[in-house]
């Protein structure tokens, strides 16, 4: 049950990296009042990724806090919580389980223990989520760090010729593979990027709240820039990805139990390091329904 609402103003401590800030002094078991919400919303708009540490959340708590940021979105294919992994019946549609843990030989969640590539969550949908909130229930002693990439910085610092080359262009966001690049169950393998299934989105995306522009890439595999010969599209995409994947745009989260990471899925990409599969890593995630993608 929610306790009384917050009585103190949160403190915001930037990571000092390309993005991200710690939020101190907020107990997510309590309801967020208007003043607290404003502080968090401002910090989120400024830092794009927020970390709340030392939390102890049930799925209901995670869902309740997440709803401050919009309507919950359904989990992507292959990650929906099930009884076996302890997700309550009322939460299975909304809580994605990200874990390498197996019960009776079967994975209880998505992504295993391997590396995942830079990506935007569910951007292969016409309306990708606004945000994802990932909460750590169990962490390996090392490995499995999550990187976040500031795509506004990546856009601003793009060389003028690349900026010009993507102006007004759209790109395919592959729906046939997960963020580790694996073919999804039932998906057909394509070799010609012009035939990749998935949404087409503008390569320059305008943030609906702050109005700032970000490079919107989604994921590299299967991408195709509409209207270009395949070779030209590949060359341009390689140049954009080489630019965006530079370390100065990224900051890495080293997980501790009780950390909740909330990222803006409109202007941030993320990836994950692999980790030792004999260790346990268990995360529960919510995602927030997004708004139509604005070209910027």
Residue 273 contacts residue 143 (beta carbons within 8 Å): yes
Q: How far is the CB of 257 from ligand OGA (least distance, A)?
A: 14
Q: Which helix (H) or strand (E) holds 30?
A: none
> With CB cut-offs between 5 and 8 Å by kind, which of Mn ion, ligand OGA, none does residue 123 bind?
none
Residues 141-170 that bind ligand OGA (CB under 6 A): 146
State residue 62 phi and psi, 5-degree precision: -60, -45
Distance CA 72, CA 254 (A): 26
Output the CA torsion sign for 143, 144, 145, 150: positive
Q: How many CA atoms lie within 13 A of 134 on its CB side?
A: 28
Q: How far is the CB of 265 from ligand OGA (least distance, A)?
A: 9
Q: Report if residue 73 touches Mn ion, rule: CB under 5 A.
A: no
Q: Using CB under 5 A, pick the residue from 73, 121, 259, 264 that binds Mn ion.
A: 121
Q: How far is the CB of 287 from ligand OGA (least distance, A)?
A: 8
Q: What is the DSSP letter of 126?
A: S
Residue 148 contacts residue 268 (beta carbons within 8 Å): yes
Residue 139 contacts residue 273 (beta carbons within 8 Å): no
Place of tokens 């995602």: 287
C-alpha separations of 272 from 21, 143, 149, 158 in Å: 19, 9, 12, 24
Residue 30 contacts residue 7 (beta carbons within 8 Å): no
Return the range that interacts with Mn ion (CB under 5 A); candidates 43-51, 83-91, 121-129, 164-172.
121-129
Q: How far is the CB of 76 from ligand OGA (least distance, A)?
A: 8
Q: How far is the CB of 137 from ligand OGA (least distance, A)?
A: 12
Q: Please name which of 212, 248, 158 lies closest in space to residue 46, comparing C-alpha atoms.
A: 212
> With CB cut-offs between 5 and 8 Å by kind, which of ligand OGA, Mn ion, none does residue 199 bind?
none
Complex with ligand OGA: residue 27 or 277, whichever CB lies closer: 277
> With CB cut-offs between 5 and 8 Å by kind, which of ligand OGA, Mn ion, none does residue 146 bind?
ligand OGA
Q: How many CB atoms lie within 10 A of CB 89?
A: 9
Tokens of 29: 């078991």
Tokens of 33: 């009042």
> With CB cut-offs between 5 and 8 Å by kind, which of Mn ion, ligand OGA, none does residue 272 bind?
ligand OGA
Q: How far is the CB of 116 from ligand OGA (least distance, A)?
A: 5
Distance CA 237, CA 159 (A): 14
Residues 154-173, one symbol each (x = binds Mn ion by CB under 5 A, - = not), give --------------------
Q: Which helix (H) or strand (E) holds 231?
A: helix 230-244
Q: Using CB under 6 A, pick the residue from 98, 139, 199, 215 that binds ligand OGA.
A: 98
Q: Using CB under 6 A, pick the residue from 85, 116, 120, 233 that binds ligand OGA.
A: 116
Q: Report if residue 134 touches ligand OGA, rule: CB under 6 A.
A: yes
Q: Report if residue 179 touches ligand OGA, rule: CB under 6 A.
A: yes
Complex with ligand OGA: residue 36 or 100, whichever CB lies closer: 100
User: By the criterion CB under 6 A, which residues form the site for ligand OGA?
Assistant: 98, 111, 116, 121, 132, 134, 146, 179, 270, 272, 283, 285
């Amino acid at each position: 049950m929610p306790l009384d609402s917050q009585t103190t103003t949160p403190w915001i401590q930037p990571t000092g990296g390309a993005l991200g800030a710690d939020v101190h002094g907020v107990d997510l078991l309590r309801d967020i009042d208007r003043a607290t919400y404003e502080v968090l919303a401002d910090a989120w708009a400024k830092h794009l990724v927020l970390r709340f540490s030392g939390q102890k959340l049930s799925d209901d708590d995670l869902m309740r806090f997440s709803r401050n940021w919009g309507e919950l979105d359904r989990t992507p294919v292959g990650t929906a919580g099930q009884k076996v992994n302890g997700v309550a019946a009322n939460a299975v549609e909304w809580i994605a389980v990200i874990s390498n843990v197996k019960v009776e030989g079967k994975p209880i969640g998505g992504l295993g223990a391997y590396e995942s590539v830079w990506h935007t969550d569910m951007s292969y949908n016409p309306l990708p989520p606004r945000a994802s909130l990932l909460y750590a229930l169990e962490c390996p002693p090392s490995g499995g760090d999550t990187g976040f990439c500031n795509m506004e910085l990546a856009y601003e610092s793009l060389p003028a010729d690349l900026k010009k080359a993507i102006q007004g262009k759209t790109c395919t966001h592959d729906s046939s593979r997960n963020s580790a690049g694996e073919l999804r169950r039932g998906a057909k393998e394509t070799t010609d990027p012009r035939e990749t299934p998935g949404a087409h989105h503008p390569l320059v995306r305008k943030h609906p709240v702050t109005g700032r522009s970000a490079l919107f890439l989604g994921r590299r595999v299967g991408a195709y820039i509409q209207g270009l010969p395949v070779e030209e599209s590949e060359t341009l995409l390689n140049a954009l990805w080489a630019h965006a994947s530079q370390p100065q745009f990224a900051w890495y989260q080293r997980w501790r139990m009780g950390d909740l990471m909330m990222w803006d899925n409109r202007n941030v990409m993320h990836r994950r390091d692999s980790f030792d599969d004999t260790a346990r890593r268990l995360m529960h995630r919510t995602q927030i329904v997004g708004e139509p993608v604005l070209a910027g």
